[in-house]
Amino acid sequence: MDRRRLLQTVAMAPLAIAGLPDLWSIAPARAAASTRVRPGQPGWPSSAEWAELASSTGGRLVAVRSPLAECMADATGCDRVFPLLRNPYFLGDEPGLTQTLGWVDAWTSRPSVNAVAAETTADVVAAVNFARDKNLRLVVKGGGHSYQGTSNAADSLLVWTRRMDAITLHDAFVGAGCEGRQAPRPAVSVGAGCLWGRVYDAVSTQGGRYVQGGGCMTVGVAGLIQSGGFGSFSKRYGMAAASLLEAEIVTADGAVRIANACSHPDLFWALKGGGGGSLGVVTRLTLATHELADFVGGVSASVRAQSDDAFRDLVAATVQFYAEALFNPHWGEQIAFQPDNTVAISMVFQGLGQAEAEAVWKPFFDFLAASPERYVLEAPPQITAVPARQFWDPDYLRTLPNVVLSDDRPGAPADNVFWTGNLSEAGHVLYGYQSAWMPADLIADERRAGLAAALFSASRHWSVSLHVNKGLAGAPPEAIAAARETATHPAVTTAFALLITAANGPPAYPGLPGHEPDIATARQRSEAVAAAMGEIRPLLPTFAAYVSEGDFFDADWRQSYWGPNYKRLLAVKDAYDPDGLFFVHHGVGSERWSEDGFTRLG
């Protein structure tokens, strides 16, 4: 996630769109072909049956209607709705919306028919049993940030966990059944609907500890943990999933299971990076907390080269500087290489003071200053350290200009803030999105020139960013060891960064005159994204990508996301969900189903 605007200011402020078919050979189905029911078909629940579900969930069954339906019925309604689509809290509070409105030629956000707005685990059990017994398409949504569209589906029943948002701090947590086998440790238990901004505020601002989560404040906890999870300081603390100590989950049979290292260890392993929505409905997670550094901070700069040749040299110098000065647990976030010959730096650090951080960067900025005819700093570099307990404090952040935006709906909670840099992601439509784990040997002396050349060539097509906090090479040994105990592709443990190239557009929706996606531009930019990644692929002995930030159309998704772990993940899936109740696009076992998740292939 882009933090540039935050870092600059802190420094200055002491309708249906079909997806492509799976191109892998189809694995044999476990049972006879079957089709889930849709509204109007025989077997769709009657009004009386829906009423029974409503009663069993304490009246928390809601009919879902997307606010975009207001636009479809009356174009003037769009004048009210579309500005709200830039508010991630509005999007999250609407069961009929998702944080991303779609991906051109891939998927469009579609509301479920009904949703159980779960407040208790019993609500989730009732919803799962109902969907299984009535043969319904089931969808699970917490934060709703899936780029792959996995938290929505038309003609479905939604389990909406947004209201399950309790947060409990523990001084000495031991997992169920682990008494005498594991030492107590500080931890935090969070409901599946919690958002990371609130968890950071509780753990760090109020509790003086750190929990590894996501960078975006409005991302949901459960989905991020199940997908692996990376935040600004993952190079120090490791993957978010690796901090999971215990999860409560409702599986396809309606059973409530506690998964940890001592109980259902196979399921516990799979939940740590196996992808959200494939194995059950997680209702609560307990995560280890860590010692909080005294200071965290940011470095922001934008450097433009005056020619292509100068930019080529700038890319090489940046790669060398990263390898020699920043390839360690202190540093995270992004360095972007852009088609306009700009290197955009949006870095964060922890465990360093102001003077220490400035000393680290002095050689790089001295190099630029020595060649003013070749390099122009578009704004003065900003380097600032702040007390770590203030970094996620909504009250403090609101005092800084241009750092956060607030939920401006009447009566919204005061702590509903989000990074200004995330504004462009709220309600956006994706055009293309690809990622690749970058092996650390690419920044070794003998390979840096090749990496720099590939980054330069890629930037001729589209912007490419090195998210250095999302590769664990250079992290402490214990963080790497913990990552090896997760289901995430093992490439993450030897990668110095996750390279991302992506394109998106503003909120839009098919069928709404004046508000439809720009299809021509989307396809053009999607091709540019693919071309940029095409320059990177030859560097990689094995292509591996991050499940939460991968290509919707990746035909080799099983290899890309999980590699050698996929076979084991599928065995866990078969053990806990043999009939495939839980389906998400390119999720474990999804190769056995049609693209919409309604028809078993066999």
Per DSSP, which regions of 351-494 are E strands? 375-377, 382-387, 404-406, 417-419, 429-439, 464-467
Contact, 141 vs 95, CB < 8 A? yes
Say whether 250 sits in a helix, a strand or coil: strand
For residue 478, what pLDDT band results from cuts at 50, 70 and 90? very high
Q: Are residues 274 and 185 in the same domain?
A: yes
256, 273, 291 - which closes a domain: 291
Residue 307 falls inside a structural domain: no
Give 14's pLDDT tier (boundaries 50, 70, 90): very low
Q: 232, 256, 291: which is the final residue of a domain? A: 291
What does the pLDDT average to over 255-267?
Answer: 98
Six-digit token pair at 101? 């409105």
Per-residue model confidence as pLDDT tens digits over 336-377: 999 999 999 999 999 999 999 999 999 999 999 999 999 999
Give the model's confidence band at 3: pLDDT under 50 very low, under 70 low, under 90 confident, else very high. very low
Q: Across residues 204-230, what is the average pLDDT?
A: 97
In whole angstroms, give the CA distance from residue 129 to residue 33: 21
Half-sphere exposure of 382 (CA within 13 A, CB side): 24
**Per residue, what are the HEC states of 496-559?**
EEEEEEEEEECCCCCCCCCCCCCHHHHHHHHHHHHHHHHHHHHHCCCCCCCHHHCCCCCCCHHH
What is the band of 111 on the pLDDT scale with cuts at 50, 70, 90? very high
113 in the same domain as 197: no
Q: For residue range 434-449, what is the model confidence (pLDDT) as tens digits?
A: 999 999 999 999 999 9
Residue 100 shares a structural domain with residue 151: yes
**Do 498 and 573 contact (CB within 8 A), yes or no?**
no
In a domain, 173, yes or no: yes
* Confidence grade of residue 566 (pLDDT, cut at 50, 70, 90): very high
Q: Are residues 74 and 115 in the same domain?
A: yes
Residue position matching structure tokens 């969070």: 190
Q: In whole angstroms, how far apart are CA 170 and each of 186, 203, 208, 383, 555?
A: 5, 10, 13, 35, 43
For residue 70, what pLDDT is reported? Answer: 85
> What's the pLDDT band for 28 if we cut at 50, 70, 90?
very low
Do 148 and 187 reside in the same domain of the chain?
no
Q: Does 360 fall in a domain?
A: no
Grade residue 31 by pLDDT with cuts at 50, 70 and 90: very low
Segment 506-512 shows an average pLDDT of 95
Please report, for the domain that includes residue 286, its CATH number.
Answer: 3.30.465.10
Q: Give the pLDDT band (50/70/90) at residue 576.
A: very high
The confidence score (pLDDT) of residue 71 equals 87
Q: In this model, does residue 19 exceed pLDDT 80?
A: no
Residue 123 maps to which CATH number? Answer: 3.30.43.10
Q: Could you give the CA distance from residue 567 to residue 75 in angstroms, rounded to a whole number?
A: 49
pLDDT of 73 reads: 84
The tens digit of pLDDT for each residue in 38-83 reads 999 999 999 999 999 999 999 999 999 999 998 888 878 899 999 9
**Is there a single domain that holds both residue 142 and residue 246?**
no
Judge whether 14 and 400 are in contact, CB under 8 Å.
no
In a domain, 435, yes or no: no
Question: Looking at the structure, do residues 154 and 176 belong to the same domain, yes or no?
Answer: no
Beta bridge partners, 169, equal 188
Q: Which token pair is 572?
A: 């866990």
Instruction: List the structure tokens of 545.
Output: 């990508």
Cβ 472 vs Cβ 235: under 8 Å: yes
What local confidence, expressed as pLDDT, does residue 285 receive? 98
Identify the domain boundary among 236, 261, 291: 291
Do 91 and 117 share a domain, yes or no?
Answer: yes
- 339, part of any domain: no
In this structure, the answer to whether residues 146 and 213 fall within a common structural domain is: no
Q: What residues make up the domain containing 261?
A: 167-291
* Rounded distance between C-alpha atoms, residue 488 and residue 433, angstroms: 19
pLDDT at 27 over 70: no
Q: Are residues 113 and 184 in the same domain?
A: no
Asked which of 17-21, 177-181, 467-471, 593-597 is least confident by mean pLDDT, the reply is 17-21
What per-residue confidence (pLDDT) applies to 602? 77
Closest Cα to residue 487, out of 547, 550, 555, 574? 547
In a domain, 353, yes or no: no
- Global confidence as pTM: 0.93
Query: In the 8-state DSSP scheme, what is residue 206?
Result: I
Give me the mean pLDDT over the 245-268 stretch: 98
Q: How many domains does the chain have?
A: 2
- Domain identity same for 110 and 183: no
* Average pLDDT value for residue range 15-41: 52
Same domain for 171 and 151:
no
What's the pLDDT tens digit per position in 205-216?
A: 999 999 999 999
* Residue tagged 């189905």 (tokens): 29
Q: Is residue 400 part of a domain?
A: no
Q: With respect to residue 351, please indicate whether it lies within any of the assigned structural domains.
A: no
Which tens digit of pLDDT belongs to each residue from 284-329?
999 999 999 999 999 999 999 999 999 999 999 999 999 999 999 9
